[in-house]
């Protein structure tokens, strides 16, 4: 008699995509409802003036906005991938490949994120200068309005009055999104798309496109998409979600540290992304180093995988 249980067969990639979408919708509703409840508890009521204050990123509502960010990240990005893995009756660490990190690769990704930062900056500067054809001017104006709203909210969240705010921002802006968005996009979506298309490159770029589009910041679309693709290739080559979470944390944590530096030196945050911080050859060097480091990461992980098979 065989007492060893048979391995659970996974649902098809299409079913998994439907499941994660459904879980994300449920999570979004729960996050919104809880945010409204907290708003009512802290404000006593919910009226037009409160909604206007939130829309205009009024500093009086900063604590509520922070709590809402945590709730939305948790219920939209963290819980749905966990529910998906549980629905397949597969352990989370096996479903999303949480292999134990190697310090040499951690260091390599740290260097890679630093060296690629100027390259992401110049792509972002070019994206901000994007102009649509005249017949789409109304679309461009709408996109600009959305971008300005997002910028106001980002500046409010990055505001640091004391050291406690810095660590709160590291948690809300860097750590939670790194965990949640990598679980959701690289873990759940890219994994499902890889099974669907049988082509990891298509899966990576489709996921990166969705990753950028869902942020609804059109004048930062391309750097975010390339960043998402970079995380996708890191996940593909290393076979561990820990590394993409680390890279994502570094990217967002750098923004928090930069915001702190600017505020300490009394430099307006809204001017930080509108000017070049490097000479032209700095961007060329960044491009060359990024290509080299990505190639080295691919080769190193391939060699390490080959040794494991020997």
The pLDDT tens digits along the chain (310 residues) read 444 444 457 888 899 999 999 999 999 999 988 988 887 777 766 666 555 656 666 677 788 888 888 999 999 999 999 999 999 888 888 898 888 899 999 999 999 999 999 999 899 888 888 888 888 788 888 788 877 777 878 888 888 888 888 999 999 999 999 999 999 999 999 999 999 998 999 999 999 999 998 887 888 889 999 999 999 999 999 999 999 999 999 999 998 998 888 888 777 776 655 556 778 888 999 999 999 999 999 999 888 766 664 4
Tell me, what's the pLDDT at 1?
A: 44
The verdict on residue 185 lying in a domain is: yes
DSSP assigned state of 276: -
- Taking the C-alpha atoms of residue 152 and residue 136, their distance in angstroms, rounded to an integer, is 25
DSSP assigned state of 129: T
The verdict on residue 62 lying in a domain is: no
Give me the domain span that covers residue 187.
95-309
Tell me, what's the pLDDT at 176?
A: 95
Q: Nearest to residue 239, comparing CAs of 289, 192, 298?
A: 298
The verdict on residue 46 lying in a domain is: no
Tell me, what's the pLDDT at 298?
A: 93
Concatenated DSSP letters of 6-24: PPPPPPPHHHHHHHHHHHH
Tell me, what's the pLDDT at 62?
A: 81
Tell me, what's the pLDDT at 306?
A: 60
Is residue 228 within 8 A of residue 189, CB to CB? The reply is no
For residue 156, CA distances in Å to 139, 147, 242, 279 come to 26, 14, 29, 30
CA 108 to chain centre: 20
The verdict on residue 278 lying in a domain is: yes
Tell me, what's the pLDDT at 7?
A: 47
The verdict on residue 194 lying in a domain is: yes
- Taking the C-alpha atoms of residue 177 and residue 174, their distance in angstroms, rounded to an integer, is 6
**What domain count does the chain have?**
1
The verdict on residue 277 lying in a domain is: yes
For residue 58, CA distances in Å to 41, 48, 61, 73, 230 come to 18, 13, 6, 21, 35
User: Full-prediction pTM beyond 0.85?
Assistant: yes
The verdict on residue 83 lying in a domain is: no
Tell me, what's the pLDDT at 26?
A: 95
In the chain, which ranges are continuous DSSP H helix?
13-43, 48-55, 62-72, 79-87, 92-95, 103-128, 137-157, 163-169, 176-181, 191-197, 200-213, 221-238, 241-264, 280-309
The verdict on residue 15 lying in a domain is: no
């Amino acid at each position: 008699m065989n007492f060893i249980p048979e391995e659970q067969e996974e649902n098809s990639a299409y079913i998994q995509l439907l499941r994660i979408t459904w879980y994300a919708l449920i999570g979004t509703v729960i996050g919104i409802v809880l945010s409204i409840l907290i708003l009512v508890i802290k404000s006593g009521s919910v009226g037009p003036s409160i909604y206007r204050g939130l829309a205009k990123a009024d500093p009086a509502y900063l604590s509520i906005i922070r709590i809402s960010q945590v709730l939305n990240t948790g219920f939209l990005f963290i819980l749905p991938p966990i529910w998906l893995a549980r629905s397949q009756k597969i352990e989370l660490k096996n479903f999303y490949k949480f292999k134990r990190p190697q310090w040499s690769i951690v260091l390599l990704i740290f260097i890679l994120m630093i060296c690629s930062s100027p390259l992401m900056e110049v792509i972002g500067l070019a994206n901000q200068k994007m102009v649509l054809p005249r017949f789409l001017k109304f679309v461009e104006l709408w996109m600009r309005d959305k971008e300005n709203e997002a910028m106001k909210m980002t500046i409010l969240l990055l505001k640091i009055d004391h050291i406690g705010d810095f660590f709160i921002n590291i948690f809300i802006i860097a750590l939670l999104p790194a965990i949640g968005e990598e679980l959701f996009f690289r873990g759940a979506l890219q994994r499902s798309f890889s099974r669907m298309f049988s082509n990891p490159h298509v899966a990576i770029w489709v996921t990166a496109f969705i990753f950028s589009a869902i942020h609804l910041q059109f004048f930062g679309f391309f750097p975010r998409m390339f960043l998402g693709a970079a995380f996708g290739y890191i996940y593909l080559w290393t076979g561990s979600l820990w590394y993409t979470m680390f890279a994502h944390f570094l990217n967002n944590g750098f923004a928090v540290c930069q915001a702190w530096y600017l505020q300490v030196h009394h430099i307006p945050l809204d001017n930080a992304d509108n000017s070049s911080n490097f000479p032209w050859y700095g961007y060329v060097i960044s491009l060359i180093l990024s290509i080299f480091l990505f190639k080295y990461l691919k080769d190193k992980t391939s060699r390490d995988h080959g040794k494991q098979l020997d």
